[in-house]
Every structure is written in structure tokens, then in C-alpha cells.
Chain A
């Protein structure tokens, strides 16, 4: 199996979120970055498990600048065989997907794996767009993937139950919780990652289809008002006239 796992670099979950340039840019000052957990814990690890069971290779791909290399090295330390970074400052999903598809087209991967979303912008778009650009099936939010030769059996959690899908490679899939158990790199992996190839590919032409106008933080939490359990009328009054939600 020739597997491509696309990984994003995202702010650590404990990072303080702020914006600059009139609320149009994320303020990266003092922010620690990590591999997007859905990409690392589920897509990458499941890709490695399939490779370990069936043979083949796992390549990780990132779209971004050289500042992303440390996160790519972590994916190599966890076990990916090699890495590709498309040197492109991604602004929107379509531009990112175009870059990935252009690269993947020539490489004939059996599967292209994503996390179900990034934990920063939560777009969940790039995987589907890559599938469309490659003219391949796309399965989103998969919680299980078993391969039998060229055939994949996929489970998705749906409202109130589970959906089971069969798909033939090549395909594109986005992975959700349940797909695999996160792996911590070991020292052998970290040392091996020093010498694994990280190929930098120059970007192909692509244009952003959307533009971010501004970002906004959620409103700060207000004070809590305690209402006596014996006074439902007061609660109704507050919900109606103060919170204005009923």
C-alpha cells in the first residue's frame, strides 16, 4: 500500500488565542505548535498500522513554510518513511487542496488520509476537495478502516448508529476518533527521523477562492446568577428579559 497522510500544523490546545492586523491574522507570538491531533493520532497512526500489516510506505505531506519542519519531523519520528513539504503559504482550503492534489496525482497513492478536521479552523474541507480534484471517492469522519487487499471496509459514526462502507483503493479518507490509538514517538524513532528524507516541493499555481475578512473571539463568560430552586418565575423572567433567549 502506498499511503499519503496529510498533516497540518496547529496551535497547541493550551495556546492563548489572539489576532493582529485589525483582527485579520492569527497572532502566533509565543504560541507553541503541534501536529493536528486528528492527523497525527488517527490518520497517521492508522496509515502506519496498515503499512506494518501489509507492507508499503507512508509519506507525510504538509503544505506550508520551513517553520513547519519541526512538526513534520515529529511525524517522521512516529514512523512515517519520508515527508514532503509543499512550499506554499496556504490561505484557503481550495488553494491547499489544489497543491496536494497536484502533487498526489503524479504519485498514484492507494489512499490519501486526513484527520477529520484541523483543530484551529475546523474547516473539514481539504480532504473532500482533494478527492474531487483527484476524481476519487471520499469518506469523511471514518472511525474504522480495515484493508483486505485493495478493498477497504470503513465505519462511520452517524446519528444514533454506524454506517459501514466498502470502498476500493484509491480513495481519500478523513479519520475521526476510534480509528487508532495515539503513538508516542520513541527515541529510536526520533533518531531515525534525523536522516529520513524531507523533500521540499515548490508550489504549483493556485488561487485562493475565499478571503478571511475578520476573526472574532467568543464573548467573555458572564457572571453566574443563582436562582432559588423555589422560584421558577424569576428564572423565566431572567431568561426572557435579560438573556432574551426565550
Chain B
């Protein structure tokens, strides 16, 4: 891949609304992505390999549990910092951001929020340092948008729980050391359990042949009479609201991350359009190309403002699930459309690995589906404004 010449667009001087520390954190991650991710990510994606060696660096720039308190190995940062880190990681690749999102919001967050002190001390520092990889099991083969229908279950066997079931589309499943798994107890109540690699009956078959998130490992979590120690149950919250709380945090990070992918596509398309000559002129001088670029920067600017405001609300503890849904849905869709338009501006070059466009575009096809599909988020907004559920 050619060298990373990324220049971040900031059309509305949104930088002026960030603190100096926010900018230092963002610029640090940006610099790290340019140095460590951009040079290798295309090859990782082509070979369908997760560049695991990046985990140490992701940890060092605060990508694993940025808002988890420092006493547990996190960075103790605010939500805007978390968002900016996700934005910059996804500017590199959605797969790298997914690894950081899952570890932070779907594994560390529930252990921190719903776990006890022993669980926090046992798992969080090793997840924060990247020594351990975590995964999150909610979606099942027959229960995606309807997680409450899950059939994974556990029985109280006296000195342990006996876990059975299967989870699907799990980021990091094939390489995870620990998994936060949601399953129903004998009375049908959803609880979170921490399952560790090596427990008998726990396997993680890989999902092969993906055209998307190729630089990220995806698989299943299969539980065949797995004996889970009782101390591995997350004690402080149960019911569907527990995993949905994790998803709020992850979706918030995705809303920021998608803007990163969009910025990368726009930046590449803008530069290419100024350098590419046709009919003796840069293609940037043609109205149809300008229309694409002008619409891209408009949508990116709107999404940046949406994120910043959502971050402020989140810092104040006021962001609602519905507000997060709107940002996730809008921003991912915006990024996907920008990737497609940017691909057009790049002409044939846009389909090659010389440019990041096609990789972002294919990645975003997953991002628009996972963590609540585009349509489900629409229904969440619909229900919020009408008071009527259209889910079933």
C-alpha cells in the first residue's frame, strides 16, 4: 500500500470544541495508526488475518477500555476521548476498531459494570493490556435482532453452572481467552457468565470466507455441557437490559468509528480527484465529482457534530439508547454511502488495494448489520417518537 497521506477534514472547526487533551489523544492514535496500521492492514485483509501484534499498541494508545478506571488498568478517560480513539482506529480499519470495541464495551464494560471486585481485578488489567483477548456472546444462529429469544441456557448444578448453547458472528471468537456469554437460567432470566478458554466443552470454530472485516477473526462460541464456576456469573445485573447496556456503549463507539472510515474515504477521494487528470483537467474540476465531494464533506461534518453532542450527553450520563441508535444508524449508513461514492471517484483504482476504499466499503457492510441492523435502529427511533413498537 502507498504511504498514508491522510489529512483529517474539520470543516466546521470542531477541533475548537475539543479540549487540548482530547486533541492530544486523538492525534496520538492517528499517528499510531499511520505508523503501525496503514502499512500492514491491506495485506492482513487480503490474507484474512488479524494482525494480533497490534494489540500491544492498541493497549498503549488506550484503545482497550479507555473509560475504565485506571485502578483496573483502563485509562480513566471521558466518553469523547473514547469516541475519538474509535474514530481514529476505524480510520485505519473497521476490523481493528471492532477488536477495540469488543474488548472495551462488550467485555471490559460488563465486567466493570455488572461484575464484582474479584472479577474486575482478575480480568480487567489483562484485557486492558491486550494480554488477553475477549469476546462477547449474545447473537445466536436463530436469534439475531431478537436476542430475547435466545436458547443458550445454564443450570445450577450445586457447585457450578452447566452451560449449553451456541453463539454466532462473534468477533475474536477464535482467538479469545475469555468470553462474556449471555444465557438463560432455569427460570428464563438472562445472565452474563465469564467463560474461559480451556473449559471443557467450550469450542470456538472460525467463520471462513468473509468478504468483510477480513482483518478481524469471526467465529462461533459453542458450549457443550461446559462447567462454569459459580464465581464466573456477573452478579450485579440480569435481564436483557444487561447485554443491551453493553451494546449502547459499543454502538456509541461505532458511531464515532464510522466517521473515521468516512473521513478516510473522503480524504483519499479528494486527493485522487485533484491528481487524476482527464480531458486535460483534474477530475476535481468537474461538477459531478464536486457534487460527490461536497455532499461527502457535508455529511461527515453533520456526523461529527452528532458525535460530539452525543459524547457530551454521554459524559453527563444523559445519552439515551434511542439517541445512540440514531447516531449509529446515521453515521454507518453515511460512511457506507461515502465509501461507494469515493469508489466511483477513484475509478478502477478504487477496487484495488492501492487505496483503502474498497476495504472500508466491504467492512462497513458488516458494521451496518452488527450491533443492531440499520432497519432495527430505524424502528427504535420510530418507536421512540410514536410510542408504538413495530418490531413484531
Contact = CB atoms under 8 A, between A and B. Distances in A.
Interface stretch (A68-76, A135-143, A212-220, A230-238): A68-76
B24 A70 contact: yes
B7 A73 contact: no
B23 A70 contact: yes
**Which interface class (under 10, 10 to 19, 20 to 34, 35 or more) fits B?**
20 to 34
Given A70-B20, A184-B61, A190 B25 contact: yes
Interface in A155-213: 184-188, 190-191, 193-194
Interface of B: 7, 13, 15, 20-21, 23-25, 28, 31-32, 35, 60-62, 66, 70, 75-77
The B contact surface, by secondary structure, is helix
8 contacts: A73-B21, A186-B61, A186-B62, A187-B28, A187-B60, A188-B60, A190-B21, A190-B25
Given A69-B20, A70-B24, A187 B31 contact: no
Given A191-B70, A191-B75, A77 B24 contact: yes
A30 interface: yes
Interface string A60-81: 0000000001100110010000
Contacts of A193: 24
A34 to B, nearest CB: 8
Nearest to A29: B13
Given A14-B7, A70-B20, A70-B23, A190 B28 contact: yes
The listed residue with most B CB atoms (<10 A of its CB), out of A14, A73, A184, is: A184
Interface of A: 14, 30, 32, 69-70, 73-74, 77, 184-188, 190-191, 193-194
A187 B24 contact: no
Nearest to B7: A14
Contacts of B61: 184, 186-187
A187 B66 contact: yes
A184 B28 contact: yes
Contacts of A188: 60
Contacts of A190: 21, 24-25, 28, 62
Contacts of B75: 187, 191
Given A14-B7, A191-B75, A73 B28 contact: no
Contacts of B77: 187
A32 B23 CA distance: 11
Q: Which 3 A-B pairs give the minimum distances between C-beta atoms? A: A187-B62, A70-B20, A186-B60
A127 B75 CA distance: 38
B35 A184 contact: yes
Contact of B28 (A30, A32, A69, A185): A185
A171 B281 CA distance: 55
A169 to B, nearest CB: 32
Contact of A30 (B13, B24, B62): B13
Contacts of B62: 186-187, 190
